[in-house]
Structure formats: structure tokens, C-alpha cells
Structure 1
């Protein structure tokens, strides 16, 4: 499902980013999409969006009202389009992908590293240097510890996923044995 929502969100995020760049409004679009994502990601709104008995127009109007008059007209138009196409559930992912594009455009790549064990500062610095070289730009590193990985690292940078965890290897082996 997460891959599906990303597939749906990507063209909207790319179009919004291109429009933001051509009008010099990247910061305004970032703020607007962040606001829309916060509203659309609220548990009550998620329930409304998923409820087939609530009209798209009602959800659109509620979202516009909550976001207020400070929402730029083009962002409001995007919201209307997403409501008409029943794509409001994709708003948080659109905002996330917009920020990925923004960071990449600024020469910064956001990278999330999940590790089974704590990574000390020296290891973080070495990892950031290696990833910066591999990805061709500066990296903003977020490190998470997840003992369920058993061992190894999982690295995510946009669409790039490097899974060198023991859990990932076990899962791939299990899938290979099913055939």
C-alpha cells in the first residue's frame, strides 16, 4: 500500500515542485503542503477521507476551512484537484516527496539509516562521508535503532533502498524458498 500511495503522489509532488520553482515560491509551497499534510494526516480526517458516505466536496471544504485563508490559491487548486480525483489520502506523501525534491535541488539528500545497534559519532561521520560520495552531494543523516533488524543496516535515500540487514536476508531467503 505504501508503494501505491507513493506512485499516486509522485506526479503531483513533481508538478508542485516544478511550479514552485518556476514561480520562485518553493518556501510558500513547502509551508502550504506541510499544512495540508498535517490536516489530511490527522486521524479524524483520515477517517473522513476513508468514509465512502462523506462526499469529496465536504472533505475538500473542511480541509480548506481548517487550512484557512493563508493557503496560496495554487495550493488550494491542488487540493481541489486531489479531492475531485479522490486522492486526498496522498497529501502527506505528496508533501514528503516535495521536500525530498527540495532537498535534492538544494544539493542535500535526506538519508535514513536503520541499524540493529547504536551507531557512534565516528561511525556516523564515516557513513555520512561514504553516502555523500555515493549519492553525489551532502547528506542529512537520520539514524534509528531497531533491534528487530537483528544485525546490519538499512539505508533509505528517496527511492534508493539498501537493505543489508540480517532480517532482510532472512526474508529474502524465505521468499526464495517459497518458489
Structure 2
């Protein structure tokens, strides 16, 4: 896994620098996400990694599958990856690109896991509080886990705040057993 990230890093940095310099970060992020998702399908992965196809054929196959979702610059990027036999790195390239984009925007992706669905007002209040605490813009994604019983688990990069009832009960159990 670490090796794939190491191989993907120069491509992600180059794509990021190009997109940033041309004011196309959002567009590139969307297109790279599409490529990462499409290339992750088993059938597509088998076709584009087939030794029976030339790198040009592999790139053209992936580009055809994505259709109008890709602009000419991103198509050239795909062709470059294919030429260097690096199409398999697309998911890692997107992940690294997205991390660079988030850092550039001084934003942080936050995952809220709750025991029940939060309404928009509650989500916004949590996002505002986290934004103030982290001194960054916060992009919130939510998930529901009924096993939490109550409360919320917040993940923002390396920071994890477990305010769930299950987490509190586990801490209590550890304290009692100590």
C-alpha cells in the first residue's frame, strides 16, 4: 500500500500543481474522482491492465468509458499514466490530489457518525463549532451507526472525538476493570 502511494505521489503533485495554476482544482478533483471510481471496477481494471493491450489502447478504453466527463487536459494525464504503466494508481492519485486540494483550501473533511439521522440545523451547528475549534473550513459527511446508542463520533483527519454513549460506556468499563 505504501509503495502505491509513493508511486502515485509525483503524479498527484503534478496534477495538483497544474490544476492550481490554471484555476481548475474543483474540475480536476471531480474528473479524477470519476477516473478513480471507474478504474476501481473489476472489469475495467482487468481491461486496462491487460498485457494484450498497448498503453494507448488502455488509455483510450478508460477515456471512452468515462466519456464526456473528462476534458482534454485530464485525457492527456490519463494517456501519460498509461504510457508509464501507472493507470492502476488512479485511486491513490485521486486520494493524494484531494488531500492537497483540501490543504490548499485550508479545509478539513469531517466525518460525523451518529446513532440517528441529524437534521440540517444540527449538522450546521456541529460544523460551525468544529470550524471554530479547528480554525479551518469544515466539509461534513455523515453516517448513521445504530450501535452507538446515542451521541456522535467525529473524525477529522487524525483527530477522533468519541462522544457516543457506547464510547463512554467502554471508558467506564475500562476504568472499573483497572
Q: TM-score range by the shorter chain?
A: 0.5 to 0.7
Structure-2 separation of matches of 1:15 and 1:78: 10
Residue matched to 2:38: 39
**Residues 36, 91 of structure 1: 8 Å contact kept:** yes
Residue matched to 1:72: 72
Alignment map for 1:39-118 (pairs within 5 Å): 39-49=38-48, 53-55=51-53, 57=55, 58-67=57-66, 71-73=71-73, 75-118=74-117
- Cα displacement string for residues 35-73 of structure 1 (whole angstroms, at most 9, x for unaligned residues): 433432344213334x56554624223123444586324
1:132 deviates by 0.6
Residue matched to 2:160: 162
Could you say what secondary structure the match of 1:91 adopts?
A: helix
Could you say what secondary structure the match of 2:71 adopts?
A: coil
User: TM-score, normalised to structure 2's length?
Assistant: 0.64
1:23 deviates by 2.7
User: TM-score, normalised to structure 1's length?
Assistant: 0.64
Question: What is the total number of aligned residue pairs between the two structures?
Answer: 165
Unaligned runs of 5+ in 2: 171-178
1:25 deviates by 3.2
97-106 or 109-118: bigger deviation: 97-106
C-alpha RMSD of matched pairs (Å): 3.7
1:145 deviates by 0.6
With over 3 angstroms needed to count, the CA separation of the structure-2 counterparts of 1:65 and 1:118, relative to structure 1, is closer
